[in-house]
Structure 1
Amino acid sequence: MAIKKLTTPVCIATLALSLTACSVESLASEGDIEVVVGYQSKTINTVTAGTLLRAQGYFESELDKLGERTGDSYRVRWQDYDTGAPITAEMIAGKIDIGSMGDYPLLINGSRSRSAGQSPTQMLSVTGYDSKGSLNSVVVREDSPLRDIADLAGRKVSASVGSAGHGLLLRGLAQAGVDPASVSVQNQQPQIGASALESKQVDALSQFVAWPGQLVHQGGNRLLYNGAETNTPTLHGVVATSRLESEQPDVTKAFLRAQIEASDFLENNPVEAAEIVADNAGLPAEVVYLYNGPTGTAFDPALRSDLIEKLGDDFDYLNSIGEFTDLDLDEFVDDGPLREVYGDLGRNYFDEPSASASWSIGQAENDECGNPVTSEGVGGEVWIDGQAQTRVAATTECLLQTVQHARESGERVRAAYVRDGANGARWFADHSVWVREHDTFTPFSTESEADGFVRENPGATVIDFETAVSEVAS
């Protein structure tokens, strides 16, 4: 197992792996306990169990408190990966104690850890989730002739097989009535797929956060298909080896307390949290805030029944790619430690604030246009350079006016975020397809959604963002 008391090492120079383990052990004094955490720094809906958690030192702080009670000395070794698959492999090999990943990889992790006959893993908490599935998307180049997911028939698409991005692709194709066998899936890591898309070796890329937002934000690409169109929840979560739970239950609870601390920080300081994650993950802060900001991802750690039921719906996909054996969800999902931690904190397990409401923190009751701002009616946010809080607009028309006024005042708009007019998903205002119908301006994250709206509403016209800004007051 990965977690162990580190003692004076006895090095056997036969395998590189043995030497690596030995060199790590030699850094610690006798009696130290090392906990190995696998995470994905650029998968930003695991930040409360990864990038943000590590940056803030919450887990180390909790282990220091534990050490004061036990007399042991604890240390954390963080290991960063691009996807969930290598984390699962290392957990099965006994080299990682705690990991975080997306929904499909979570199930593969639970299944493979049981079939391997080693220490089976348990799902202990949720990190980020979206009730409609907007955390994963399909991206194409801006000059691509493709306008809808159905157009992918006969095309090459980059995806990481077994990932949430691959699952989205197959689900979206099925809903569009397209035979998945007609699409040539190139099994590639996200960064390889991004290069393949740029060099036109593939026609599209289907990936998990933050890749779709990053590729569109940097320019030259657009969304072909928003995961929210599936109207299927997607989530990320935490798994730990059952051996860790049984032999070091206090370490498990220390991690969950630290995750709750990170979630609280993100809820109460969304802009600052985005900056911290961006600095530590090497991502644009504007992209991080797209997903981790208010009205985007929810960061409630609770293992809610609707999310767990969604995991059960993923079994067909996993069986279709041969990555899965039977898994009992009741056995795999264990909310006992998390419930105990909430109890120790005097907090209600099912009454946590959700990220969908945190946008209102520190904001005025009315937007710049005098409209009352409510969680149900928020139209978007404008992030002005140098300001620690965004400006919330109750309507998309007011958001456009806020951008216009900021520019007239000489302020630089870092980013503006809107809700998709078809499904409510959060997206960049300047990368949205806008439709004007009389005095109403509606943004859509994809061309196909905008086209559908125009077909159903005679008199509606597709325009770009700059035209919408210039016309909003005309």
Structure 2
Amino acid sequence: MPRTRVSLLPLLPVALLLPLATACGGSADAGDADTKTVTVTVGYQSKTINTVTAGTLLRSLGYFEEELATRGRKDGITYKVAWQDYATGAPITAQMTAGKIDIGSMGDFPLLINAARGKQMGEPTRLVAITGYNLRGGLNTVVTAPGSTLRSLADLRGRKVSTSVGSAADGTLVRALQRAGIDPDKGIQKLNQQPSVGASALAAGNVDALSQFVAWPGKLAFEGRATALYDGAELNLPTFHGVTVREKFAEERAGILDDFLKAQRRATDHLRARPVAAAESVAKVTGLPAEVVYLYNGANGIATFDPRLRPELIAALKEDVPVLKAAGLVGDVDVDAFVDQAPLRRAVRSPAYPEAAAAKPELWLRGATTTRSFASPKELLRAVEGADVRAAYVPDALTGTLWFADKAVWVADGTELRAFVTPAGAQRYVGRHAGARIIRYADAVRLAS
């Protein structure tokens, strides 16, 4: 029988289909009652720190307001920015399709839902820039509670797992389970929860694992409330966050969109030039530990910040469509029609940055305004001993995903010391290298010296 196309409308919670009570103002299309004043509404996720160059950091730096002020001096109009903060991308999409948010930022899977919902509701949207990305997928992680007996993804069979359905973290979970030979619908008990709810459920022992996106896994690990079970980079599929805009706004207020993209580029320059200061700034606003922000957004962080719409990312977006279709969250999505390269090319000259280099071990000492990088994990560990360490970071020996050195799983292989995000990764390495053994972090530090 031919497959019946499922409408997205009945599948999403009613709350996401209605204008939120917290929304303030309207879109920039009509302007304020005073025709000399135009308000631009930006939806962002302050604690989804892969979007900070289009959200938290951008807002704190005031670059968008500066660009608009320059425009205002030329055309005699006063421009205002209304920033609206949300926990996930879904309510941003709901507000955009209601014409109440002009520009928004969210992850790759929510972006596809944004595209589908916009078209369905007669308020089409466009993807115009990237914020942060990881070409292997390391921004999503499955974690378990400290002391859990679970050691690999295979151990999740029949277990309760919390995630946010429709998010990139859910996409990672689905794909990872499939590769492990586990039916993502029947092989586990999946709970659809907000990240904070899932974190509480994990702490209370109500779920066995949590699959979430940046910065939740790193935050929980840093606070000693979780250990990594699966590194999303093992999928070797790009994941990213990006900027979406209402098509009508992009056409009627092209100059304002240009100003936003210019401001985003300036914020990206700031983050890349002053990563420690940027991490401290984001931490102050969000309440996240600066050490966690730096894990993702630092000089060697898990995320690479570059607004360019890289072909690898667009190709990955197309590969994401079948996952959401299988979950009944979207029908067909025309990714090529959704992606719009023109605004960024128009607004920013030479928008691309140099390709990201492989992550290096990195040390952040207390009181320091810069960090120090090392050529090897052993050199990092030598520097750690006796130092007043704020945070030490080390890349996974196989995936390159940066992780906290004291939370990593360490392996001694002859005179070499290697770090892994997960026990499974370390065990696989040990199984392939005779004489290699898993050791404690304290022993790794001792052996390094």
Instruction: State the distance in 1 between where 2:21 and 2:275 align.
Output: 40
SS of the residue corresponding to residue 207 of structure 2 reads coil
Q: CA deviation at 1:27?
A: 9.4
Q: 1:52 aligns with which of 48, 57, 64?
A: 57
Percent identity between the two aligned chains:
50
State the match for 1:10 in structure 2: none
Asked whether the 8 Å contact 2:152–2:229 carries over to 1, the reply is yes
Instruction: State the distance in 2 between where 1:82 and 1:174 align.
Output: 28
Q: 2:88 aligns with which of 64, 83, 102?
A: 83
2:197 aligned with 1:192: yes
Asked whether the 8 Å contact 1:154–1:183 carries over to 2, the reply is yes
State the match for 2:150 in structure 1: 146
Listed as ranges, the gaps of 5+ residues in structure 1 are 1-14, 358-375
Instruction: State the distance in 2 between where 1:48 and 1:21 align.
Output: 23
Amino acid at match of 2:342: G
Q: CA deviation at 1:192?
A: 0.4
Asked whether the 8 Å contact 1:112–1:325 carries over to 2, the reply is no
Asked whether the 8 Å contact 1:379–1:399 carries over to 2, the reply is no
Instruction: State the distance in 2 between where 1:16 and 1:403 align.
Output: 49
2:346 aligned with 1:340: yes
State the match for 2:5 in structure 1: none
> Structure 1, residues 131-158: CA drift from partner, whole Å, max 9, x if none?
1000000010111111111111101111
Q: CA deviation at 1:70?
A: 1.4
Instruction: State the distance in 2 between where 1:292 and 1:304 align.
Output: 19
Amino acid at match of 1:402: A
State the match for 2:101 in structure 1: 96
Instruction: Spell out the pairing of 1:101-112 with structure 2 (5 A cutoff).
Output: 101-112=106-117
State the match for 1:391 in structure 2: 372
Amino acid at match of 2:167: S
Instruction: State the distance in 1 between where 2:437 and 2:324 align.
Output: 42
Task: Report how many aligned residue pairs link the two structures.
Answer: 427
SS of the residue corresponding to residue 101 of structure 1 reads strand
CA, structure 1 residues 384+306, in 2 after alignment: closer, same or farther (shift >3 Å)? Answer: same
Instruction: State the distance in 2 between where 1:324 and 1:417 align.
Output: 38
Q: CA deviation at 1:123?
A: 0.4
Asked whether the 8 Å contact 2:168–2:213 carries over to 1, the reply is yes
> Structure 1, residues 78-136: CA drift from partner, whole Å, max 9, x if none?
1111110110011111110000000000011001100112x200000000000100000
TM-score, reference length from structure 2: 0.92
Q: 2:313 aligns with which of 284, 307, 315?
A: 307
2:287 aligned with 1:285: no
Instruction: State the distance in 1 between where 2:66 and 2:22 align.
Output: 30
Q: 1:331 aligns with which of 327, 337, 359?
A: 337
State the match for 1:420 in structure 2: 396
State the match for 1:175 in structure 2: 179
CA, structure 1 residues 248+191, in 2 after alignment: closer, same or farther (shift >3 Å)? Answer: same
Amino acid at match of 1:385: R
Instruction: State the distance in 2 between where 1:452 and 1:16 align.
Output: 48
Q: CA deviation at 1:353?
A: 3.2
SS of the residue corresponding to residue 431 of structure 1 reads coil
Instruction: State the distance in 2 between where 1:285 and 1:414 align.
Output: 10
2:103 aligned with 1:127: no
Amino acid at match of 1:331: A
Q: CA deviation at 1:28?
A: 7.6
Asked whether the 8 Å contact 1:34–1:76 carries over to 2, the reply is yes
Instruction: Spell out the pairing of 1:8-27 with structure 2 (5 A cutoff).
Output: 21=25
Q: 1:461 aligns with which of 429, 437, 440?
A: 437
Listed as ranges, the gaps of 5+ residues in structure 2 are 1-18
Asked whether the 8 Å contact 2:411–2:419 carries over to 1, the reply is yes
Q: CA deviation at 1:461?
A: 1.4
CA, structure 1 residues 472+26, in 2 after alignment: closer, same or farther (shift >3 Å)? Answer: same
SS of the residue corresponding to residue 220 of structure 2 reads helix
SS of the residue corresponding to residue 305 of structure 2 reads coil
Instruction: State the distance in 2 between where 1:280 and 1:255 align.
Output: 21
Instruction: Spell out the pairing of 1:189-338 with structure 2 (5 A cutoff).
Output: 189-296=194-301, 297-338=303-344
Could you say which structure has the greater relative contact order, defined with CA pairs below 8 angstroms and 6 or more residues apart?
A: 2
Q: CA deviation at 1:193?
A: 0.4
> Structure 1, residues 302-339: CA drift from partner, whole Å, max 9, x if none?
11111101100001110011110222112110010100
Q: CA deviation at 1:423?
A: 1.1
> Structure 1, residues 412-435: CA drift from partner, whole Å, max 9, x if none?
200001110121111110100000
CA, structure 1 residues 131+18, in 2 after alignment: closer, same or farther (shift >3 Å)? Answer: closer
2:407 aligned with 1:431: yes
| Segments of 4+ moved more than 4 angstroms | 15-22, 25-30
Q: 2:427 aligns with which of 442, 451, 468?
A: 451
2:40 aligned with 1:35: yes
Q: CA RMSD in A?
A: 2.0
TM-score, reference length from structure 1: 0.87
